[in-house]
Chains A and B, each alone.
Chain A
Amino acid sequence: MGQTIIEKIISNHSSKKARAGDIAIVDVDLVMATDTTGPLTIKAFENMGGKKVWDSDKMILVIDHASPAPNEGIAVLHDLMREFANEQGIKLYDVGDGICHQLIMDNHHVKPGQLVLGADSHTCTYGAVGAFATGVGSTDLAGVMLTGKTWIKVPETIKINLTGKLQKGVTAKDLILHLVGRFGIQGATYQAIEFTGEVIEKMSLDSRMVIANMVIEMGAKAGLVDLKGLELPYKYDPVKADPDAHYVKTIEIDVSQLETQIAVPHSPDNIKGISEIEDITIQQAFIGSCTNGRLEDLHAAADILEGKKIHPNVRLIIAPASRKVFQDALSDGTVEVLSAAGATFLPAGCGPCVGTHQGIPGNNENIASSTNRNFQGRMGNRNSNIYLGSPAFVASAALKGKITNPKRRLSI
């Protein structure tokens, strides 16, 4: 029997042919930690007796989760990371450079067919370029820093074939939210997902990243997006599944009838169609995060807000996914459009999404957000309600002051 992409990638990184269910000891191509997970990783590495990391060129540190430091305690942790990076000769992205996953992708630290571990659950984003990338904790990562290896249980793979054409205003975010709702928050636990089909082939890299990013919201270990139709600025040999590879499930979905999808409080799998929940009043709107803080996302918001003002009772907060995203949006006029509409820009980073600082909601407030999780307290206040959707959804909500179908706001 043939192998799935994931079985092939793991086989290529270990001494034997991997099959779903096996435990494999694998060589790792890249590890990444942030300021949430990095300090604990460094401490664990030192406690393991680590002196020098196995390969300083294969490690990236990023200060993005509480950046710039909102208090003295966090500033000290940032310094610990800088000091370690300097001593070990490790590349560190500092305050304002951007969100780890965006930087790893934009700077080509990850390539198709590689095996990457990151101490952040959304590391699965790199499946957008066909890498097996998954999130681990700090101690696990420290183990790789010491040995260059880790152990992996080879996951089964679910194949999802997406056909048809997305309606105007319906995006990759709506598609992945629909799938999270359909599978449930633990529907793909311990499994990998391969995405294929004509819908994927027409998608930009930005949109493919949205799909891969949120597979963790179904519990999946990795989400591999077909490379068809994607142009990358370097040469690579794509890893392809064998024709007789075994899939635990194959699902066909025609996306043509899909309407805007929203995850309502307090779980990302609590999905409703926009028509079911229109008219809920919102106080805050947030566009950003490793899910939807890219140029394509700022453009979607600007399409809706150009020449208009957001509702007077709404705060619209935007944190670009990276400095490059901000600069591109600045030079093409997007920042001006959004700022004129009433948006407040934050430095590139994760802040509001993870409730660390900036944009903490008040009591009993509703937030329209382009992020990935709406768990209770996620944005820093348990007495608030987060509605997840696409940037077009967030911009529409900011404009009207309540949840509304973005389709109506688009100039068609």
Chain B
Amino acid sequence: MIIKGKAHVYGDNIDTDRIIPGKYTKTLDMQQLANHVLEDIDPDFHKIVQPGDILVAGENFGCGSSREQAPLALKSAGISLVVAHSFARIFFRNAINIGLPLIELRKYDIKSADTLEINIKTGVVNNINNGESYQGAQMPDVMVKILNENGLVKYLKNHKSYS
């Protein structure tokens, strides 16, 4: 599966409170989440993000709360994939469970508005703007299986159990 999109680059330790503040989490309306995604870092983000765009961050993306609203807000806003140096454990699991792909990439030279082309299966990230290519980490098999079925809801609906 190849994902191609425009990058939005942010920094290290972006916690779940900054991805979606607690005051907006009590809803089942995904558009409501999308309207406030990342607003404490960049109040205009929800206006500039386009369907298919890619979020790029540094260390420990998604640290803090277990709120699944964090990856849901990103996905609902149109983000197709998140690239980061590293991810917090619960966020990583939540993103896979809702079918939002992630690539852990230790080093990259990516700037906001660069166009990226990413092969989720191999973990290879190509930066079309500077011609560079980077090798991201591979995910555990169990996560790949869940992601391939677009998340845990469909996975368990189809298989009824973990195997």
Chain A interface residues (CB < 8 Å from chain B) = 23, 25, 35-37, 39-40, 43-44, 47-49, 65-66, 73-74, 77, 118-121, 123, 135-140, 142-143, 146-147, 149-151, 153, 185-186, 189-190, 219, 221, 267, 354-357, 373, 375-378, 380, 382
Contact = CB atoms under 8 A, between A and B. Distances in A.
B153 A380 contact: no
Contacts of A140: 93-94, 97, 152
Contact of A377 (B17, B60, B98): B17
B140 to A, nearest CB: 6
A338 B154 CA distance: 52
Given A189-B89, A190-B89, A356-B23, A40 B97 contact: no
B26 A66 contact: yes
A376 B69 contact: no
B153 to A, nearest CB: 5
Given A219-B60, A380-B22, A143 B94 contact: no
A147 B68 contact: no
Interface in B123-154: 140-142, 151-153
Nearest to A117: B66
9 contacts: A25-B162, A36-B69, A44-B152, A121-B90, A139-B94, A139-B152, A186-B88, A189-B88, A382-B21
B160 interface: yes
A388 to B, nearest CB: 13
Nearest to B69: A40
Interface of B: 13, 15, 17-18, 21-23, 25-28, 40, 59-60, 63-69, 72, 86, 88-90, 93-94, 97-98, 140-142, 151-153, 156-157, 160-163
B157 A49 contact: yes
Contacts, number: 144
Contacts of B63: 185-186, 219
Given A47-B153, A135-B66, A137-B67, A151 B162 contact: yes
Given A123-B66, A143-B97, 4 more contacts: A36-B69, A146-B156, A355-B22, A356-B26
A189 B86 contact: yes
Given A23-B142, A219-B60, A147 B161 contact: yes
Contact of A65 (B18, B26, B90): B26
Given A23-B140, A121-B90, A219-B63, A137 B97 contact: yes
Contacts of A36: 22, 25-26, 67, 69
Contacts of B88: 186, 189, 219
A227 B15 CA distance: 32
